[in-house]
């Protein structure tokens, strides 16, 4: 029932226990017109088993099931039909609808119950509601909600202290995602330290997140006007400039929620370069992210201790621990501490390790060119590419469901 078939009749299957027993309902249906389309009777089901079979083979838009049927009763037939073909809307039919019958019909998976003793307008209203319900599949939001290839994914990249590579990882990871999903990735410098994301990409955005959240209401044109675009196709919402951090100390959470909702609606991947829990909005952003990458290093006991405290605070903020991806950065042959030390301190398994290639990373940052672009064959680029592959793989509904079991 898409837009290209808007003139096609609404296909209906009716249960008819005995010849002629469905005459009243059939005549009522044939008099209906819904959404500019007439109703056509695609078939009749004689018993409960045939109800389920026809739901599968005929694939009608609506199937009307009598509560009283031979063999399988109407309620069991309804359960089978909706399980066998969830696309078909099941409606149960009774001579006199009682509250008990209505409840039983709902428990069986029916979307409504038609009382043949009620005025025909009741049936007309019911059909109009179902046609409107089916029309939701024509909306772009339906694909966002159901298509794994369009499912929006939010990723926070954070660390317990500065200097561990948070912005570098967020920036380069976002560029890799943008190359794989052109036009579908946005990187938000979320209250970052003086706009480091833009600096790392050699961008000079005139507007940023502080300007955007200053409006009372947001719309698509306004948000789009605040995004800068990198040569790689990555969209960037710039951070605050030096000296203006205090403007965001009391950000309006409902306004922020509106912004996040819009970004998720228009982009496949939304990456947030997020400071630790220093701002009131940080915990809220984390609660909206499917993946929270927490970076740490192995050369400083203070960093490891603070990372453990940060993870504890994230979990206490009602964020499931399975969303946390602990990543050890700048790992080299001889570190002051081991991966095991970090895992014991944090209670979280290290999800990935990034090699120490300081010279490559530092040069790329100073030049404003992501190392994944300038040095695609280096070990750190290849490792980060594997991390991106894992995130994409773990972002399908099936994998998310498995992770929560």
Per-residue confidence in pLDDT tens, the chain, 405 aa: 344 445 678 889 999 878 778 888 888 888 877 666 788 888 888 888 889 899 988 899 899 999 988 878 899 999 999 998 888 899 999 888 888 999 999 999 998 888 888 888 888 888 888 777 777 777 766 665 666 566 789 999 999 988 899 999 999 999 999 999 999 999 999 865 545 898 899 998 888 887 887 788 888 899 999 999 999 999 999 887 655 556 556 677 888 888 988 898 889 999 999 887 656 678 888 988 999 999 999 999 999 999 999 999 998 887 889 999 999 999 988 888 999 999 999 999 999 999 999 999 999 989 999 999 999 999 999 999 999 999 999 886 554 444 444
Please state, in angstroms and rounded to a whole number, the distance separating the CA atoms of residues 171 and 201. 8
Residue 273's pLDDT is: 93
Instruction: Report the candidate in 395, 372, 382, 375 with the shortest Cα–Cα distance to residue 325.
Output: 395
> Quick check: helix, strand or coil at residue 11?
strand
- Considering the domain architecture, whether residues 128 and 170 belong to the same structural domain is answered as no
Number of domains the chain contains: 2
pTM across the whole model: 0.70
Pairwise CA distance, residues 57 & 94, whole Å: 25
Which of 117, 138, 159 marks a domain boundary? 138
Contact residues for 372 (Cβ-Cβ < 8 A; gap 6+): 172, 175, 176, 381, 384, 385
Do 339 and 218 fall into the same domain? Answer: yes
| Tokens 């570098």, located at residue | 168
What pLDDT does 404 receive?
42
Range of the domain at 212: 144-403
Same domain as 157, residue 133: no
107 and 82, same domain (yes or no): yes
Query: Do 227 and 256 reside in the same domain of the chain?
Result: yes
Whether residues 118 and 212 share a domain: the answer is: no
181 and 111 in a common domain:
no
**For residue 126, how far is the Cα from the chain centroid?**
31
Of residues 59, 311, 272, the one with CA closest to residue 170: 272
**What distance in Å separates the CA atoms of residue 405 and residue 400, rounded to the nearest whole number?**
9
What pLDDT, on the 0 to 100 scale, is given for residue 144?
59
**232 and 107 co-located in one domain:** no
């Amino acid at each position: 029932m898409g837009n290209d078939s808007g003139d096609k009749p609404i296909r209906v299957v009716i249960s008819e226990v005995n010849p002629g027993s469905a005459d009243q309902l059939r005549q009522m249906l044939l008099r209906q017109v819904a959404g500019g389309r007439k109703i056509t009777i695609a078939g009749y089901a004689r018993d409960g088993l045939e109800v389920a079979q026809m739901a599968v083979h005929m694939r009608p838009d609506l199937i009307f099931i009598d509560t009283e049927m031979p063999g399988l009763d109407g309620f069991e037939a309804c359960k089978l039909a909706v399980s066998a073909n969830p696309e078909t809307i099941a409606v149960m039919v009774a001579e006199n609808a009682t509250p008990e019958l209505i409840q039983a019909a709902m428990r069986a998976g029916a979307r409504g119950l038609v009382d043949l003793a009620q005025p025909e307008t009741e049936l007309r209203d019911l059909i109009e509601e179902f046609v409107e319900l089916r029309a939701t599949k024509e909306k772009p939001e339906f694909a966002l909600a159901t298509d794994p290839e369009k499912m929006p994914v939010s990723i926070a990249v954070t660390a317990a202290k500065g200097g561990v590579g948070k912005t570098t990882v967020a920036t380069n990871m976002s560029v890799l995602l943008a190359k794989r999903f052109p036009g579908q990735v946005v990187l938000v410098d979320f209250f970052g330290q003086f706009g480091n994301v833009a600096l790392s990409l050699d961008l000079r955005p005139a507007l940023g997140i502080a300007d955007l959240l200053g409006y009372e209401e947001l719309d698509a044109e306004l948000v789009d006007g605040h995004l800068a675009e990198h040569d790689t196709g990555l969209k960037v919402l710039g951070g605050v400039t030096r000296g203006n951090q205090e403007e965001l100390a009391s950000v309006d959470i409902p306004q922020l929620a509106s912004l996040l909702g819009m970004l998720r609606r228009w982009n496949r991947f939304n990456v947030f370069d997020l400071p630790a829990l220093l701002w009131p909005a940080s915990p809220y952003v984390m609660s909206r992210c499917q993946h929270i990458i927490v970076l740490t290093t192995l050369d400083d006991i203070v960093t490891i201790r603070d990372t453990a405290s940060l993870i504890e605070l994230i979990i206490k903020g009602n964020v499931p621990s399975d969303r946390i991806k602990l990543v050890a950065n700048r790992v080299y042959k001889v570190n002051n501490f081991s991966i095991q030390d970090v895992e014991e301190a944090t209670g979280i398994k290290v999800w990935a390790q990034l090699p120490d290639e300081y010279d490559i990373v530092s040069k790329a940052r100073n030049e404003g060119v992501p190392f994944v672009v300038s040095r695609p064959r280096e070990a750190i680029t290849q490792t980060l590419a594997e991390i991106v592959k894992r995130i994409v793989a773990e972002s399908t509904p099936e994998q998310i469901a498995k992770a929560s079991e």
